Amino acid sequence: MLAGGCVRRSAVDRNSFSNSRAQISLLAQSSTFDIFPRMSISQVSSTSVESLLKEDRIFPPHTAQADALGGANVESLEQYHALHARSVADPSGFWGEIAQDFEWFKPWTSVLEWNCPDAKWFVGAQTNVCFNAIDRHVLEGHANDVGLIWEGEPQASGMPEVRHLAYGELQDEVSRFANALKALGVKKGEIVTLYMGMVPELPIAMLACARIGAAHSVIFGGFPAPSIVDRVLDAKSRVIVTCDGAWRRGSVVPLKKNVDEAMQSLVAQGHAIEHCVVLKRTATPIEWNAARDHWWHDVIAKESSECPCEAVDAEDLLFVLYTSGSTGKPKGIRHTSGGYMVYTAYTARMTFNLKPNANHVFWCTADIGWVTGHSYIVYGLLPNRVPTLMYEGAPNFPAEDRFWEIVARHRVTHFYTAPTAIRAFMKWGESHPKKHDLSSLKLLGTVGEPINPEAWIWYHEQIGASRCPIVDTFWQTETGGHVITPLPCATPTVPGSCTLPFFGIDAAIVDETGNELPPNTGGLLVIRKPWPSMLRGIHGDRQRFIDTYWSRIAGMYLAGDGARRDERGYFWIMGRIDDVINVSGHRLGTMEVESALVSHPAVVEAAVVGMPHEIKGTGIAAFVTLSLQATASEALKAELREHVSSVLGAIARPDMLRFTAALPKTRSGKIMRRLLRDVAAGKESTQDTSTLDDFGALAALRGNDE
């Protein structure tokens, strides 16, 4: 067994493992695997994606961590299967029971009304998400318990600003700003735009909107003015909340300046922002329009801390969050109050095994401008009465051990981050986490994209000290919360697999006709039944909602990802459908080729795309970032090509391989493969690059010949 009880039988493996680890256990042959479900097998689609990656390192459930986590919420895989079966067979009964844990001002008449593609959950009920996140805790005697921990980016002194906000303080701050919004004329049902840095006032503003029945549209604070314009026009916002600036790696991001540019453009397009509320964060000189602009501290100083929560219908809009679309126009994903509240809080509780009295401190490193921050910094965490930590700055400023310093200082127990960050940690080296006491950690999580098996192993060993369970969560802006994930004390985990569907999720891998595919055959990932936090539409575009998610396979939600399900019933995400490469008639998922590359000890990150090939039609282009110990050379290129061939077969050998110091990524850390496709094809890209974090990475690739 490997450290932590891992069984290793992997076709994607670093040679060093076989030299440095103990002998392989025969656990894979034991009765442990008799409890995995068998899949139904249907006709195999001729358009199925070939699945080449094999990964059989298996980590038994972390039952030893149950006590450290305050007791297991789900104690075994058998219990999971029983609960999951019931949740799919009787969703109304299952979710009706779960929803009893929340406060409702008016009960529902029915739990679910489903007329595909339209779902209504907790029909007729009235509630308020802000009440469930804050007020109920105050009423239950927890006004002095810490609900939100915030740490700012270190300034010249080297010391970061830290704030601990108890539920009583949050109630006061949220109420004052809610009253301020009402004084500015914000009405129930309208959408307020929030364009801020990672400061406590951002979740306060979100909750203030929810408190008065208004919706919010949070725009990531790194987006430029044109992105603000598109989203404000679509939401028809009259009020925008921003900061003078935001700190990022010691520099100021000019948020108010961006908003000013956007407001000027909006006026030219016939839409005026009536009120702009500005939080003073960086004390940066800014332009000021006295008729329109208001300082945050001024508007709240005038208001009372008494503001009753508005009773809203369970299907009333809570927020719109814009996500990128293939057409270039962002999609405004609509989420409503009741179902989203119940599902996000319940997934947080079960996936992370949260307990309100177990000294848990939860840190999700995402920006609140993305759905991960909405669901697992704010709305999923606060109702569970577990302190949620948010950090303003970057993971490598002022040094590359910044995250581990924060974990040690705040005694973080739950750490939830993205695979792209984990691969950066790998590149920076093991010395940085070793400087700090990470013994408080009890559970690790990943989110945002599939994690390469070798990154999973590094995370498990170097950050979790081989004792912390890892929950590899798959979900989307559209799903609202986790839809496929392990449960830490119940699910045996396999590096790279998000394992099994969450409660209420009827997920499957199907062909183009909706027939379920056999194990290890790549196909389309779908969800066949409604769940409480599912999107309720695309704002202002009904047809796009239907065309994007519901038209390809009748009656099923299309996730847009290619995936496979192995013989255990575990799900493996193979990449976006658009990223499938057709090589000489073989349809390959890019994720598997990337995982094969990262399994080589010289590689810390890889991105794979298709490229024109005069013989094959489409060839494989690989862009590779090396570890600090590796040196780029033609010999290493040849070695990496052969390594991929040995792992996945000759069909997957890259036709082109380029080394790069950095890959082009969005500000949320996702690799922009559409730009890499243009680079591989040798053409100038005309695509939108407004979300690109480092233009130097793209420029370097364009000037880098094979």
What pLDDT, on the 0 to 100 scale, is given for residue 328?
60
- pLDDT over 90 (residue 536): yes
pLDDT band of 603, cuts 50, 70, 90: very high
d(CA 147, CA 126): 24
How many helices (H) and strands (E) are present in the chain, helices listed first? 21, 30
- pLDDT over 90 (residue 654): yes
What pLDDT, on the 0 to 100 scale, is given for residue 429?
92
117 cis-preceded (ω within 30 degrees of 0): yes
Find, among 442, 448, 388, the residue nearest to 413 by Cα: 442
- pLDDT over 60 (residue 629): yes
Q: What is the pLDDT of residues 421-457, one digit of tens each?
A: 998 899 899 999 999 999 999 999 999 888 888 899 9
Q: Express the helix, strand and coil content of the chain in percent, nearest 5 each.
A: 30, 25, 45
Structure-model confidence comparison of residues 512 and 129, the more confident one: 129
Task: State the maximum Cα–Cα separation within the chain, in Å, rounded to a whole number.
Answer: 74
- pLDDT over 90 (residue 500): yes
- The predicted model scores a pTM of 0.84
Query: Six-digit token pair at 4?
Result: 């932590």
What pLDDT, on the 0 to 100 scale, is given for residue 587?
65
Find, among 433, 441, 409, 421, the residue nearest to 160 by Cα: 409
- pLDDT over 60 (residue 579): yes
Q: How far apart are the first and last CA of the chain?
A: 41
What pLDDT, on the 0 to 100 scale, is given for residue 156?
64
- pLDDT over 50 (residue 34): no
Query: Six-digit token pair at 535?
Result: 């999107």
DSSP 359: T
What percent of the chain stands above pLDDT 70?
Answer: 87
Residue 101 identity (one-letter amino acid): D
- Residue 118 phi/psi, 5-degree rounding, is -105, 125
What pLDDT, on the 0 to 100 scale, is given for residue 52?
58
What pLDDT, on the 0 to 100 scale, is given for residue 45?
38
d(CA 27, CA 39): 22
Q: What's the whole-number mean pLDDT along residues 237-254?
A: 94
pLDDT band of 687, cuts 50, 70, 90: low
- What one-character-per-residue DSSP string does 95-127 give? HHHHHTTS--SB--SEEEEEETTEEEEEET-EE
Query: Six-digit token pair at 22?
Result: 């103990």
- pLDDT over 50 (residue 551): yes
What pLDDT, on the 0 to 100 scale, is given for residue 642?
92
Ordered domains of the chain (ranges, CATH): 15-126+321-576 (3.40.50.12780), 129-310 (3.40.50.12780), 580-702 (3.30.300.30)
d(CA 427, CA 597): 15
Query: Six-digit token pair at 480?
Result: 């609202």
